[in-house]
Structure 1
């Protein structure tokens, strides 16, 4: 049986549930602000272009961290691993959760979380107003990878893929 609806304020929960059926990665975005390092957990991330190397992510405008993150000139997007759930949860609660992880600062003063499966250090290329979010397109200046296993988010749950050789 299928179900159809028109997206509207009274079907917002159904819309959120339908969007949640698309598996995404779990990421933390960090930047430097006048008050110090700031981070946020996000799942609105995707690659945009290989040439030039571009990625995007979308902070919600209602977030108290939105303005600081959207106005930063540089950021790092960290693909979080299965061993980093505490870090991911901490950055979902507060932007100052750096005491929950090993981190360093880049030559551009951007906070970098250690041990992530992938990390993309970027400078802002574009900011696009998009309803209740801002689309931030970053030009990737450096990529760092490690053998950690990435975390996946689907239908409100965190998990991971089983690899064929794991069976």
Structure 2
């Protein structure tokens, strides 16, 4: 029999539990007056094919999200293996978040992290308050996928690498 411990309000215990689920890491970015502005988020999920929607959970206390939410276009980059330092930089609360991060901007001011496994041209479709976070729905207007590029994986409070499994053999 499995015993489940009663949940007590302990953020550290919840963070440890949430860390048991591996996730990719995204960067949500735009250029504002010629300066790149962005944040990193690991709670990215596909939502709908018709209409094309994805979601990301963003801390309600974010000081960056209010600068991005009303932009007509946002670049959503799914970071790739080797983007560890870019993720740390984009997650920083102080200094230039784009220091050492290679990026490109589009004419409509969406910003993308170079070398990512996926880039999506998005706009905000809606926000849903959810505890201490916002669930932000993004409508996808365009994309470029690089499926051969391995994603950055965050698990157990650290970055990990995916390992390819051997192809199944028929008996």
Give TM-score scaled by structure 2 length.
0.85
Instruction: Name the one with the larger helix percent.
Output: 1
1:60 positional shift: 0.5
Residues 65, 95 of structure 1: 8 Å contact kept: no
> Cα gap change, 1:13/1:140 in structure 2, threshold over 3 Å: closer, same or farther?
same
Residues 79, 151 of structure 2: 8 Å contact kept: yes
Alpha-carbon displacement from aligned partner over 1:99-152 (angstroms, at most 9, x marks no partner):
312222113111122110111110111122222111110111111122321111
Alpha-carbon displacement from aligned partner over 1:32-53 (angstroms, at most 9, x marks no partner):
3458321111101100001111
Number of matched pairs: 164
Alpha-carbon RMSD across the aligned residues, in angstroms, is 2.1
1:4 positional shift: 1.9
What residue in structure 2 maps to residue 106 of structure 1?
A: 106
What residue in structure 2 maps to residue 67 of structure 1?
A: 66
* Structure 1: gaps (5+ residues): none
What SS is found at the alignment partner of 2:17?
A: helix
Matched, 1:148 2:144: no
1:4-19 → structure 2 map (5 Å cutoff): 4-8=5-9, 11-19=10-18
Alpha-carbon displacement from aligned partner over 1:79-108 (angstroms, at most 9, x marks no partner):
111122111111111584323122221131
* Structure 2: gaps (5+ residues): none
What residue in structure 1 maps to residue 49 of structure 2?
A: 50
Distance 2:63 2:34 in 1: 14
> Cα gap change, 1:35/1:5 in structure 2, threshold over 3 Å: closer, same or farther?
farther
Distance 2:8 2:106 in 1: 42
Distance 2:135 2:32 in 1: 19
